[in-house]
Structure 1
Amino acid sequence: MKKIFSLIMLGTTVAVAQVKSPDDNKRNDIRYNLNESGSHYVKFTFTNQVWLRLNDNNPGTTVLSDPKTSTFDIGLRRTRMQLFGQLTDRIFFYTQFGMNNFNKVSAFPAYNTAGTPSQRKIAAFFHDAVGEYEVQRKGNNFIRFGGGLTIVSGFSRFSQPSIGTIMTMDVPVFAQATVDQTDQFSRKLTVYSRGQIGKLNYRLAIADPFPVETSGSVPAALNQNSVFAQRKNSKQFQGLLIYNIFDTEDNTTPGYMTGTYLGKRKILNLEAGITSQKNATWRKDAVDTLYSSMTLWSVAAYLDIPLNAEKGTALSAYAGYFGTDYGKGYLRYNGIMNPATGTTQPIAGVGGTHGNAYPMFGTGNVIYAQAGYKFKDGLLGSQGTLMPYASLQRGDYDRLQDAADIYNAGVNWLIKGHNGKLSLNYESRPVYKNSAPVNELAKDGRKGSWTLQYQISI
């Protein structure tokens, strides 16, 4: 009993030693220092994003076999926990556990319309599990090597977004190009190197994509349009170069790139990235099976700067051009946390066209831009400030007669920066129908959705 009591007292003493600090009221993290300087530590974070959404559904939409022209749903867009730390000067680890897109129909895929049993308790999983070793460090310059399950990517900044610091209510998911097809919610088993050399930040990676058969959905049948191949799987090669004109960015965690620093840093970056995989997709041409390499590349500029440091005003903006070659005829619909389960008006040559889905991925090119303005600190007194924003995504895909233009506009109520914020967003998306030639889609009006998000992050 004395030994147990002594251990409890020791644990209490250590805990008190960790929390008593003159900076306690300024701290926004849960952190345990492993040395006196705090350079070695273990840190825990938690993020939860609750969505309340009113959606104008695509034509023919059904929810659990009931026709629905509109839906109101409540869901958890993301619920994540991170545990990571610097164990020595050179050894770093990072893990993330959580779930995504959890609403009342999230465990009821569109092909399960017969009402056979589903399981809503399977959504949480490890997103990341990574170990890193730093081989060189001189000032802000460093070179690290790592491996594991990770989101480290070469395609673009928004292929590896820090979801707790997003400026717009959600990220442009088209940049997570193979999401839940040959990856685990954008993560792959990967070995990589990342580093900062002067003004240049880099990421180089070799990934081993998952078979599309393990995606949790029935793989698309081999047809005239390219779909992810079920044979001849090969490694994926990725590279991203970022030139920092002003400040360098936060490089603590592997991959994850900040959405907006809310004026805390002066950032202007020029970025270029590429992802390439041989024999990634296949298609049928008469009696022949043809394979295509997947090549994704982007060039972009990112700005996030304070305008008036004393008032706390800031500007954030991004513009990028994306080349997306998945193979001839590739086109994929996707609806974020789709509130529906099926449709009575399917579109030939594509699946999952119900609810809030639109042609998100395809062979062609995409232009994406966003901008936001942060008002002065204390605009709402002790209740924080506001940051309105807008974004445009234009997907000009080969099988679309008219480009898919997606508009978003909204405002963040920054109650305590990114740690506690409310976001109200309106999205306008295009609707398509089959058209001649038979393999192409023509625009058939627009639909919209209103979403209120409450984010808690620590």
Structure 2
Amino acid sequence: MPRLPVRIYFIFFFIFPLGLSAQQKETSELKYALNEDGSQYVKLTFLNQIWVRNTWNNPGTTVDGYLEDQTFDIGLRRTRIQLFGQLTDKVFFYTQFGTNNLTYLGERKQGLFFHDALGEIALWDEKLSIGTGLTGWNGVSRYSSPSVGSILSLDAPLYQQTTNDVTDQFLRKYSIYAKGKFNRLDYRMALSKPMAVSQSSVQGNIPGLVATFAGSPAGLQLHGYYMYQFLDQESNTTPYNAGSYLGKKHVFNIGAGFLYQNQAMWHLEQTGGPTIYSDLALLSVDVFYDKPLNRSENTALTLYGAFHSNDYGKNYIRNLGVMNPTNGTTAQASFNGPGNAFPMMGTGNSFYGQVGYLMKKDLLGSWGTLQPFVTSQISKFDLLEDRIITYEYGFNWLINENQTKLSLNYQSRPIFLESQEGISSSDRKGMLVFQFQISI
């Protein structure tokens, strides 16, 4: 048994690439054909996203008990390996393993874990495939399942990963799903068994005066997402949706989705009172547009807009800080919590938009080109007096398209304070991030 991992590494890193050498030169892919026309194949990919950043921390933030106004850190946002393939005309498998959010504060020598592991059977050409396993075939909107290697801005709009790490694993769920295309209608539907709240580090397992995910055994969760693709068709081989096609496609999609779970949430009407259950009901509509502008110069425009109406139960709110570089607060801290956290998800309505412009392909000669972008999330949550308004702007330096990409991004977020009048916005803080992405 101890020799098994060595044999696996030998196969993948010595024998497997030898069979790929001609294919690799032609397409820059680690892909091995299983039949003559290549319709049956096995493919291997790798992605690493490294963050170097400075965070202006929320008031009252501490690191290991010490006050810290701002924090500089270096971390691994995502490190992923995908292995997937079409084994026969009917049978497809997909696995993804790796790790997320490795920081100087985290546990050392963390192991890799599976993000995805699924099997799929095509029942009716491209019209209907069914599958099951640990999977990202999710509703409620486009970036509930983002393709992390092609994100337009620095990061995906994480509020769309609506149950992230509460009842799922980095958006993946244990599901039975159906997906396919009817002419220009692309659809996905899934029935999922939520993961136990008792195993989540996001929230506690006891009801309070505002809604949280119920710690009692969960019922099934039904969710789906539907896109009408007016122009070029997008691939649905995997569940993950592209953020930008870099001038290679002309895409115009209108989408709508939902997520529903009966009695998924609980709260107390008053301290010491009975526990009240409520349903989780989320709805969305969105639009994605990606257009080549000048074919000879390879310039392109990318637009995305979304509206979400989310009912998580009475006054639900979740503060989330991406790869938070801090780990504590004082008694005088803001409502946001430590570090870079802010109220990202909650019961109420959210608008999100992003725009990016791909500049001409030889803008920097052999050093590639630039893609500036702007994004914003505007949310009105029932618990808060004021709207959440966050915005980000920056640019991608595309040296070898998404395979070698450097990004610089500034994020501005609101700070909320609690008072007798309620929870209202008082100030803003920022975060400056440099990302180095390498993928194949």
- The TM tier, using the shorter chain, reads over 0.9
Secondary structure of 2:383's partner? coil
What does 1:210-289 correspond to in 2, within 5 Å? 210-216=195-201, 219=204, 221-253=206-238, 255-286=239-270, 287-289=273-275
Partner of 1:432: 416
Return the letter of the residue paired with 2:366: S
Aligned-CA RMSD value: 1.8
Report the Cα distance in structure 1 between the residues aligned to 2:350 and 2:18, rounded to whole angstroms. 52
Structure 1 stretch 284-293 or stretch 25-34: which is displaced more?
A: 25-34
Q: Name the CA shift for 1:294/1:347 in 2 (closer, same or farther; >3 Å).
A: farther
Alignment of 1:336-351 (within 5 A): 336-345=322-331
Q: Which residue in 1 is equivalent to 2:376?
A: 392
Paired residue secondary structure (1:322): strand
Which range is displaced more, 121-130 or 196-205?
121-130
Write the mapping of 1:117-266 to structure 2, written as runs, cut at 5 A. 120-122=108-110, 124-137=112-125, 141-216=126-201, 219=204, 221-253=206-238, 255-266=239-250
Structure 1 residue aligned with 2:60: 60
Q: Is the Cα–Cα contact under 8 Å of residues 102 and 123 in structure 1 kept in the other structure?
A: no
Q: Deviations over 1:167-225 (max 9, x none)?
A: 10100100001111011111110000000110100001100000111114561531110
Q: CA deviation at 1:25?
A: 3.7
Number of the residue aligned with 2:346: 362
CA distance in 1, matches of 2:354, 2:106: 29
Cα pair 1:90 1:133 within 8 Å, conserved? yes
CA contact (8 A) 1:100 1:123 kept: no
Is the counterpart of residue 304 in structure 1 residue 290 in structure 2? yes
* Change in 2 beyond 3 A, CA 1:346/1:399: farther
Return the offset for 1:308. Answer: 1.0
Counterpart code for 2:211 = S
Q: Where does residue 432 of structure 2 map in the other structure?
A: 450
Residues 237 and 333 (structure 1 numbering): CA distance in 2 closer, same or farther, change over 3 Å? same
1:279 & 1:13 partners in 2: Cα distance? 51
Question: 1:20 is matched with which residue?
Answer: 22
1:347–1:229 CA distance, 2 compared to 1 (3 A): farther
Q: Distance in 2 between matches of 1:206 and 1:192?
A: 6
Question: How many angstroms does 1:105 deviate by?
Answer: 1.2
Q: Evaluate the alpha carbon distance shift between residue 12 and residue 401 of structure 1 in structure 2; reply closer, same or farther with a 3 A threshold.
A: closer
Structure 2 unaligned regions, length at least 5: 1-9
Is the CA contact (8 Å cut-off) linking 2:206 and 2:215 kept in structure 1? no
Aligned partner of 1:274: which letter? F
Corresponding position: 1:89 with 2:75: no
Shift in alpha-carbon separation, 1:289–1:31, aligned structure 2, 3 A: same
Q: Does 1:417 align with 2:405?
A: no
TM superposition shift of 1:345? 3.6
Cα deviation per residue 1:25-51 (whole Å; 9 max; x = unaligned)? 442211111111111110000000000
Shift of 1:379: 1.0
Query: How many angstroms apart in 1 are the aligned matches of 2:19 and 2:204?
Result: 54
Change (3 A) 1:173 1:217: closer
Q: Is the 8 A contact 2:166 2:203 kept in 1?
A: no
Counterpart of 1:114 in structure 2 is: none
Secondary structure in 1 matching 2:435: strand
Give yes or no for contact 1:297–1:324 (8 Å, CA) kept in 2. Answer: yes
Count residues with an aligned counterpart: 427
For 2:151, give the aligned amino acid: I
1:94-146 superposed Cα distances (whole Å, 9 cap, x missing partner):
00001111101133xxxxxxxxxxxx333531100010000111xxx431101
Letter in 1 for 2:21: V
Q: CA deviation at 1:20?
A: 2.5
Alignment of 1:27-46 (within 5 A): 27-46=27-46
Alpha-carbon contact 1:346-1:353 (below 8 Å) kept: no
Structure 1 distance, partners of 2:18, 2:316, is: 58
Deviation (angstroms), 1:411: 0.2
Corresponding residue for 1:116? none
Question: Does the residue aligned with 1:370 lie in a helix, a strand or coil?
Answer: strand
Contact 1:43 1:84 in 2 (8 A): yes
TM-score by length of 2: 0.94
Distance 2:164 2:281 in 1: 15
Structure 2 counterpart SS, 1:20: helix
Question: Displacement, 1:148?
Answer: 0.3
Whether the aligned pair in 2 keeps the contact of 1:294 and 1:326 (CA below 8 Å) is yes
Counterpart in the other structure of 1:324: 310
Q: What percentage of aligned pairs have identical amino acids? A: 44
CA distance in structure 2 between the partners assigned to 1:52 and 1:263 by the alignment: 28
Task: Measure, in 2, the Cα distance between the counterparts of 1:317 and 1:455.
Answer: 22
Q: Secondary structure at the match of 2:247?
A: coil
Deviations along 1:71-115, whole A, 9 cap, x unmatched? 0000000000100000001100000001111101133xxxxxxxx
Q: Is the 8 A contact 2:197 2:205 kept in 1?
A: no
Give the distance between the partners of 2:17 and 2:189, measured in 1 at CA.
40
One-letter amino acid of the structure 2 residue matched with residue 95 of structure 1: T
Residue 5 of structure 2 corresponds to none
Summarize the Cα distance change of 1:12–1:105 in structure 2 as closer, same or farther, 3 Å threshold: closer
- Of 319, 322, 333 in structure 1, the residue corresponding to residue 319 of structure 2 is 333
